[in-house]
Amino acid sequence: MSESHFDPKHFSKILVGVDDSPDAQLAFRFAMNRAKQDNAELDIVSILEEDEINIYQALNKDYIQNKRDDLEKHLQGYRKVAEEFGIKKVETYTAEGDAGETIVKDVIPHVEPDLLVIGSSSRSGVARYFGSQASYMAKYSPVSVLVIR
C-alpha cells in the first residue's frame, strides 16, 4: 500500500458559509487554513434570511438594500482577511432565503465547490421541522460537508 492512500482528500474549491455566530468564525478560520494548505479557491457565502425581516421592513426597499449592503461589507471584510492570509483566489457570494436550502439548492450548483464548511449553529437556530440549518446542509448537500463546532 502506497503512502498516498493515507493522505487526506485534497480540495480545490472550498465554500464556507458565514454569519455572525462564533461557530461561523471558527468555520471561516478552518476553511481559510484548509484552502491555504490545499492551495484551493475559497468561496465565502452569506445568506440574507428573510425570516429575520418583518413585513414592514420587507416592504421598505431601503431597509432591504441596507441589509444587502451590510452583508456585502461584511463579506468584503472576510475576503480581505483571506487574501492577507495568502489565499490566491477568493470569491464572495450573497443570496437570500432559508440558509440551508439556499446554499444546497442555489449556491452549491452555481459555485460547484468540492467541500462545504459551516458552523454547527447559526443565528436563526432551529429551522422548522428540518432541525438545524447545519443538519439540513449535511443531509442534502451534493458535496462533502464539514461542520465545525
Contact (CB, 8 A) for 40 and 13: yes
Determine the topology of domain 3-148 in CATH.
Rossmann fold (3.40.50)
pTM equals: 0.85
Question: pLDDT tens digit string along 29-75?
Answer: 999 999 999 999 999 999 988 766 777 777 788 888 898 899 999 99
SS3 state of residue 124: coil
Name the residue type at position 68. Answer: R
Rounded Cα gap, residues 128 and 130, in angstroms: 6
For 96, the grid coordinates are 437570500
DSSP string, 38-73: HT-EEEEEEEE-GGGS-HHHHH-HHHHHHHHHHHHH
